[in-house]
A and B are shown apart, each in its own frame.
Chain A
Amino acid sequence: MTDEVILQVKDLKTYFHVDEGIVKAVDGVSFNLRKGETLGIVGESGSGKSVTNLSIINMIPNPPGRIAGGEVLFHGADLLKMPVKDLRSIRGNKISMIFQDPMTSLNPFLRISTQMVETIVLHQGLDKKAAKAKAIEMLKLAGIPAPEKRIDQYPHQFSGGMRQRVMIAMGLSCNPEILIADEPTSALDVTIQAQILDLMKDLTARLGTAVILITHSLGVVAGMCDTLCVMYAGRVVERGATGEIFAEPKHPYTQGLIKSVPRLDQAQGDRLRSIRGQPPNVIDLPDCCPFYPRCDKAMDICKRKYPATTEYGNGRAVSCWLYTEAK
């Protein structure tokens, strides 16, 4: 990991126009990603993690979605303003994605070889034969036994864990600078989750790939990520180095999340605490801290205005009224 920032997301806003109103799925998200860094984005389901990452490569379905504002600078160039043609040469090449459900993310009607080769041919300019050799090599790296044979099979002939390995091999086959993994293990068995995470960690470290790892589980993040963004209702409420956040969570939501992680060193009888209440529906939210109905420390102002972001340097920041006055 160096200090060179390769991706800057600035005040990103992505809205969905639905019958009931405007869903502000992502509302002013900012973060930086440095070369080789692993960044975790954590938050409950529906907090806007996936939308954030689809917005980065400008793949929000429109309609109903629309990127309403902000910038995504990749080596200084704004991906949101780039012509589609240029953007396509970045997708799958410089920035690639792995999705949550390996069972549905591969095309069931095409052989693995077809799906892997088309990407390599497209971005690396290899001929089909060389591309297939490259694909086999990637599958081997991803821990698939007998890749020469299995590459000609169809996705349904692979188990869930094996398919996610295929997705990882495919995602890394063009040696991307950034790999975005959207809950890569949530759909897998617990025993396989650790294997897949280890594989990702190992391969990306070897290839020097920066990773954005999306998850709803702090447990996953702890062992993997250098830095963290905690998202709630479309906003980043806290960010900073993983160690610092675990050691001293500032935002009441982060505190709640950390308290709800099961720990080995937990004393017997200490009950696991989960955050009470439900995450809000982000349709037509009023100007307020969206966490206040669930927050133990909520104050009057929390109901009237969204708190400004307090920066602590070193990428550490929090958005909560508890800290704005202190500053």
Chain B
Amino acid sequence: MTKFIIRRVLSLIPTMFIIVTLSFFLIRFAPGGPFSSEKKLPEQVLQNILKKYHMDEPLGKQYLRYMGDILKGDLGPSYRYKDQTVTELIKQTMPNSILLGSIALGLAVFFGVGVGIISALKQNRWQDYMAMSLAVVGISVPLFVIGPILQLVFAMKLHLLPTSGWITGRAGILALIMPAFTLSFPYFAYIARLSRGSVLEVLRSDYIRTARAKGLKESVVVAKHVLKGAMLPVVSYLGPAFAGIITGSVVVETVFVVPGVGKIFVQSALNRDYTLIMGDIIVYSLILVAMNFVVDIVYGFLDPRIAYK
């Protein structure tokens, strides 16, 4: 087990190396630099700026310098947010995004699995129809529609919740409710459908027939024999779900003005703030890779057939 973990961690290094290298060169060769959209600068000023950011050096040297900096945890200065380094920007925004994302994922898993199981156990009854219609709504309605509509209803019309802002502001924890529910909704929907399907599949399996033939109560059959196997697909979906939540948080943070990575990510893309984009890519890939790693381990715990080799 320990060996497996060490090997998995080591295998992350080349993956990260490739991601960083690829994005470095992709971005350097992209047309239109970070300063191209500003007013035409005098030649001398431009030279100074390029010099300041070491962009006048040969590409190889820039690359080595960047790699060295990254190892030191320095992601360079932001081209746009003057006087702030990318590391600082990410450090300020990351905790907010992680908080929002984890709450959303937690809500999605909790309600998704619950609703999915109920749906499966009440297959083709009204509970099932209700739950699955709600799930189709969740899958069909884009985040940037749900978000504003929730704002319109709960903040502007009913005045129950703050329109936007963050927990550090006046609204406190209330400010988290709408963004977290909005972000979790599509993944709730997907997880509900997924767990319904997999519970139904397990319910039809031979070993459930055995458990029933042994005289076990239906509640014991479900709790002890069905759930573990049925949750495996949900666990493997957590990786993609997290990737999705990261993507979704870009919209949700924009709509609800949450000071998170997603928001500065969009801005960095709109502004072509290349060092910031790179920093975001690196951080996002790290999170994703770490998440998939956790999912693998949880999966292994649930499924005894998986041997860590």
Contacts and interface: CB of A to CB of B under 8 A. Distances in A.
Interface of A: 57, 59, 63, 88-93, 96-97, 99, 101, 104-110, 118-119, 122-123, 154, 156, 167, 170
Contact of B206 (A59, A99, A122): A99
A156 B304 contact: yes
Given A90-B215, A122-B214, A123-B215, A59 B209 contact: yes
A122 B214 CA distance: 9
Nearest to B208: A107
B215 A122 contact: yes
A119 B214 contact: yes
A112 to B, nearest CB: 11
A107 B225 contact: yes
Contacts of B304: 108-109, 154, 156
B210 interface: yes
Interface residues of B, number: 22
25 contacts: A88-B217, A89-B215, A90-B215, A91-B213, A92-B213, A92-B214, A96-B214, A99-B210, A105-B209, A105-B210, A106-B207, A107-B207, A107-B210, A107-B211, A108-B207, A109-B229, A109-B302, A110-B224, A118-B214, A119-B214, A119-B215, A123-B215, A154-B305, A156-B304, A156-B305
A99 B209 contact: yes
A105 B305 contact: no
A118 B211 CA distance: 10
A104 B305 contact: no
A226 to B, nearest CB: 24
Interface string B106-139: 0000000000000000001000000000000000
A277 to B, nearest CB: 31
Chain B facing A: main interface SS: helix
A59 B220 CA distance: 16
Most buried by A among B210, B212, B217: B210
Contacts of A88: 215-217
Contacts of A89: 215
A57 to B, nearest CB: 6
A99 B214 CA distance: 12
Contacts of A63: 124
B228 A109 contact: yes
Contacts of B207: 104-108
Interface string B204-242: 011101111111110010001100110000000000000
Nearest to A57: B213
B34 to A, nearest CB: 53
Given A105-B207, A108-B305, 13 more contacts: A88-B215, A90-B215, A92-B214, A105-B209, A106-B207, A107-B207, A107-B210, A108-B207, A108-B303, A118-B216, A118-B224, A167-B210, A170-B214
A128 to B, nearest CB: 14
B210 A91 contact: no
A132 to B, nearest CB: 16
Contacts of A156: 304-305
Nearest to A90: B215
Please provide the 5 A-B residue pairs with the shortest distance between their CB atoms, ordered closest to farther: A92-B214, A91-B215, A92-B215, A104-B206, A107-B207
Contacts of B213: 57, 59, 91-92, 96-97, 99
A119 B216 CA distance: 8
Which among B209, B214, B228, B302 has the greatest number of chain A C-beta atoms within 10 A? B214
A104 B205 contact: yes
B302 to A, nearest CB: 7
Contacts of A154: 304-305
A92 B209 CA distance: 12
A152 B119 CA distance: 34
Contact of B225 (A93, A101, A110, A167): A110
A122 B216 contact: yes
Nearest to B305: A156
A59 B210 CA distance: 11
Residue from B209, B228, B303 whose CB has the most chain A CB atoms within 10 Å: B209
A122 B205 CA distance: 22
A156 B304 CA distance: 8
A34 to B, nearest CB: 22
Contacts of B206: 99, 101, 104-105
Interface in B226-267: 228-229
A119 B212 CA distance: 11
A91 B210 CA distance: 10
Nearest to A119: B214
Contacts of A118: 214, 216, 220, 224
